[in-house]
Amino acid sequence: MAGPSDPTPVADVRPLVAFGDFNCPFCYALEERLTTRTVDAHVEWRLVEHAPDLPAAMEDATAEEQHELAQEIATLIMRAPDVEIHRPSFRPRSGPAIRALIAASHIDATAADEFRLALFRALWLEGRNIADSLVLDAVASACGIREPLDGSAYVATATEWTAQWRAAKFNRIPCLVSRTDAKLLGLSTVERLDLFLRSGIFGSQSDDACALSEP
């Protein structure tokens, strides 16, 4: 198993890859739908920091960021009534949570899957600040991860995931990619998601997504 001296995760053999970000409500909705369909264990999530300039604290959130967040939540409620969501006080940066998740995956892969879902829910159901290290430690502990999550050892992996996403020019998240390179871009309808999961060759895209933020 890889460790801090070798921060590249062992190759995953799961049939689907999902590119997404913790602070994207549409990615949260996809995670919930995959969990409901009990296929989340077959998905390798590669979390990308699609908006690295977001704040770490509510007092630093801009009016524009708050307006965009409100619009996205309103869109999600309208387009995905099957997914419960509550608007957080602000949208925090996701880098610390992404790196903590990668660290967790090198400690206990099964618990890390639970940790990922718990982080999504911590933000979008409980309104907790997932940029706060104390919140990350508390959520990890609730998932049975007691070891310290030193995310600094996994910056290279997180950077590589974001680079893969940008190089693919998806220009949005979430993105589901199958082994046959079929793609489901954005948050689709449940009908299209189910067809994609059944066939693995159905490609589609949706405007219900978080768009690319240029570096």
Q: Please give the pLDDT value at position 151.
A: 85
| d(C-alpha 110, C-alpha 117), whole Å | 11
Q: Which is nearest to 73 in space by CA: 129, 25, 127?
A: 25
What pLDDT, on a 0 to 100 scale, did the predictor assign at position 1? Answer: 36
Residue 171 region by backbone torsions, left for phi larger than 0, else alpha for psi between -120 and 50, else beta: left
Scan for tokens 């198993």, then name that residue. Answer: 1
Other CB atoms within 10 A of residue 22 CB: 28
Neighbours of 178 (CB within 10 A): 18
> Which pLDDT tens digits describe the chain residue by residue (215 residues)?
333 333 334 345 678 999 999 999 999 999 999 999 988 778 999 999 999 999 999 999 999 999 999 999 999 999 999 999 999 999 999 999 999 999 999 999 999 999 999 999 999 999 999 999 999 999 999 999 999 898 888 999 999 999 999 999 998 999 999 888 889 999 999 999 999 988 755 445 555 556 555 44
User: Pick from 168, 197, 202: which is nearest to 50 by CA?
Assistant: 168
Q: In the CATH scheme, what is the code of domain 16-211?
A: 3.40.30.10
pLDDT of residue 6: 39
User: How many helices (DSSP H) and strands (DSSP E) are in the chain?
Assistant: 7, 7
